[in-house]
Structure 1
Amino acid sequence: MVKEKLQINENGVENTVTINDDVETIKSKKRKAAFTWYIFLLPSFIGILLFMVYPIMESFRLSFFRSNGTMETFIGLQNFQRVLTSNTFWNTVWNTFFIGFFQIFITIPLGFIFASLINSIRRGQNFFKVIYFLPNVTSIVAAAMIFQFVLHPEMGVANYILDALGLPSSTWFSDPSTAKWGVILLAVWHWIGFVIIICLANLQAISPEMYEAAKIDGASGLQQWLFITIPNMSGTFAFLLITGWIGSLQRFNEVYVLGGPNGSPARSIQTMGAFIYERGFTGFEFGIASAATYIMFVIILIFTFINLRVSKMQL
């Protein structure tokens, strides 16, 4: 395509310049530029295919086979039937929900209270942010190993403090009746920093004009907290509730460190994730493990959907 462009030289004389604008050349350059970007994206795309898509598809395929890793036999839905009729599996479901429920409904209110206290002070906020957030950046495996010593029935710091206060000591991870509470204590300690940071960010986003108007109307500090702060935090609470449940239903690392794949003592802290690991990598029943994985996926999906619906109703 040919174009004419009017130019004025140094002497003020107008000249007409002919420009050959090759549209195909421009398109070719654009295609080359786009192709370059695709080349940069290719490693990530290959990684997603190899480490996400392929394992998902292979796990789904294995759920219909009896497999020990080398030999396979197609058995249809029998793996799903075995998992759904297993008392051990439903015990892990109970353990998972029990630990998750108390972790969430202790940590969110407690974290919100701490965030409100930090937000009320003028100096030292960053110091408290760092102190409370440190457990969250600590490796959960390292934290679980530390808690084994802290909650040791004989040499642990926790029982030493209880004895000093005149309270009865606990056997913690040595007793099935108290082992879950040890995991809950660890989960609260590890997650509360995240809750505080998220709540604090939302607290600081609430308009000060709302509090000023409430003061003019004679509202006390407690009334402002109850009728201004808490309603404006509903979206944050919904976010923490949903993400907390998703994380809790996938719990594995800490219970594996504390009680092994079978959740000792007496499978009292074995979660769904630990059940899948035990069947797959200890018992070499990869078909059972794959079926349990998809059952856990459905449970998480249903529970997340319920949480979203309840959260929307509250909002």
Structure 2
Amino acid sequence: MKKNKYSAEHSNKAWLFLAPALAAILIFSVYPMIRTFIMALQSNDILNPKFVGLENFPIVLKDPIFRRAMLNTLIYSVTVVPLSIIISMFIALVLNTNIIGNKFFETIFFIPYLTSVIAIGIVFRYLLNGNYGFVNYILGFVGIGPIDFLNNPDYNMLATIIFGVWQSLAFNIIVILAGLRSIDKSYYKVAEMFGASSWEQFKKITLPELKSILTFLFLTSFISAFKIYNSVFALFNGRAGVGNKLMTAVFYIYNKFYVEYRYGQAMAAGVILFLFLLVLTFIQKKIIERIGR
């Protein structure tokens, strides 16, 4: 008699265990996304919405503030993501060696991931202050500054990038460290036997073995970077930089929805950002796959 193979998807108990998670995803992820698309096609009157089709999209796309917000977000993303991953890789490689106190430093580097963004933002406001900030104190030793990072609009983006890179390090370091420790040590021993240098081992062994992890980090980091809001809010005390010069895509959506009460246009901007991220993620994934071949 032939025994039937167990199949989880055909087990009622499996779906029972999955039900709470699926319900949470449907309520807090799928429904809001569907609702966003619906509201993007409606008027700005939330109490008596009227169907206006694609009317909101040209208004948003022609808005110079939205275009500046998308440009700011793009500049921030293409700067912070590569810098944070490169620095995280270097720190992870150092921590992966048998240096004294490596476990202690791992804990220190992971602490920012557990700390509130608002709390970190307040600390950075003191560090980057143009009059008494510690960063300007250090720059003074090399004859630079003082630089008013927070009140000079020309340096607002630089301040945000510094904050963003520092904030991204914790998660990246832990993930890369986990990847480094999963690589079989025998690969390096064989490479050493054939006289491979440290750089050759890194290029031929470490990077290929970390391909999936680095792809994951690049994709998730770009998505997170394009959704930047809390960092700007905390760093500039609720403003989008001086004179809103540092307006980002999510900040624009927030202002449209909660300040200007243009609900349809806010959701249209959200849909545009969603589609832009979708296309960008697809292109980025293809580029990473081609480079990794």
In 2: Cα distance, 1:264 partner to 1:96 partner? 13
* Shift in Å, 1:165: 3.2
Cα RMSD of the aligned pairs, angstroms, is 2.3
Aligned to 1:83, which of 60, 63, 76? 60
In 2: Cα distance, 1:49 partner to 1:209 partner? 46
CA 1:132–1:262: 2 relative to 1, 3 Å: closer
Q: 1:274 — aligned with what?
A: 251
Alignment deviations for residues 254-297 of structure 1 (CA, whole Å, 9 cap, x no partner): 11223466612132321101100000001111001010010000
Q: 2:3 — aligned with what?
A: none
Q: What letter corresponds to residue 253 of structure 2 in structure 1?
A: I
Q: 2:170 — aligned with what?
A: 193
Q: Which segments of 5 or more consecutive residues in structure 1 lack a partner in the other structure? A: 1-32
In 1: Cα distance, 2:35 partner to 2:202 partner? 52
Q: 1:214 — aligned with what?
A: 191
CA 1:237–1:267: 2 relative to 1, 3 Å: same
User: Does structure 2 retain, via aligned residues, the 8 Å contact 1:259–1:270?
Assistant: no
In 2: Cα distance, 1:310 partner to 1:83 partner? 30
* Shift in Å, 1:213: 1.3
In 1: Cα distance, 2:178 partner to 2:63 partner? 44
| TM-score (normalizing by structure 2) | 0.88
CA 1:109–1:49: 2 relative to 1, 3 Å: closer
The answer to whether the aligner puts 1:67 opposite 2:44 as a matched pair is yes
**Higher strand residue share:** 1
User: Does structure 2 retain, via aligned residues, the 8 Å contact 1:262–1:274?
Assistant: no
Q: 1:8 — aligned with what?
A: none
Q: 1:127 — aligned with what?
A: 104
Q: Larger radius of gyration, structure 1 or 2? A: 1
User: Does structure 1 retain, via aligned residues, the 8 Å contact 2:131–2:146?
Assistant: no
Number of equivalenced pairs: 282
In 2: Cα distance, 1:130 partner to 1:36 partner? 37
4+ runs deviating over 6 angstroms: none
Aligned-pair identity (%) = 29
Q: 2:131 — aligned with what?
A: 154
Moved more, 284-293 or 236-245: 236-245
Q: What letter corresponds to residue 92 of structure 2 in structure 1?
A: A
CA 1:263–1:122: 2 relative to 1, 3 Å: closer
Query: After the TM superposition, which residues 1-315 of structure 1 pair with which residues of structure 2 at under 5 Å, given as runs?
Result: 34=12, 38=16, 46-121=23-98, 123-259=100-236, 263-315=240-292
Q: Which segments of 5 or more consecutive residues in structure 2 lack a partner in the other structure? A: 1-10
Question: Which secondary structure does the structure 2 equivalent of 1:66 belong to?
Answer: coil
In 1: Cα distance, 2:51 partner to 2:256 partner? 18
Question: Which secondary structure does the structure 1 equivalent of 2:243 belong to?
Answer: coil
In 2: Cα distance, 1:245 partner to 1:261 partner? 23
* Shift in Å, 1:309: 0.9
In 1: Cα distance, 2:19 partner to 2:220 partner? 30
Higher RCO, Cα 8 Å, sep 6+: 2
Q: What letter corresponds to residue 97 of structure 1 in structure 2?
A: L
Question: Which secondary structure does the structure 1 equivalent of 2:43 belong to?
Answer: strand
CA 1:142–1:68: 2 relative to 1, 3 Å: farther
Question: Which secondary structure does the structure 2 equivalent of 1:172 belong to?
Answer: coil
In 2: Cα distance, 1:106 partner to 1:280 partner? 33
Question: Which secondary structure does the structure 1 equivalent of 2:150 belong to?
Answer: helix
Question: Which secondary structure does the structure 2 equivalent of 1:256 belong to?
Answer: helix
Moved more, 70-79 or 242-251: 70-79
CA 1:35–1:259: 2 relative to 1, 3 Å: same
In 2: Cα distance, 1:235 partner to 1:44 partner? 26
Q: 2:5 — aligned with what?
A: none
Moved more, 215-224 or 285-294: 215-224
Moved more, 224-233 or 156-165: 224-233
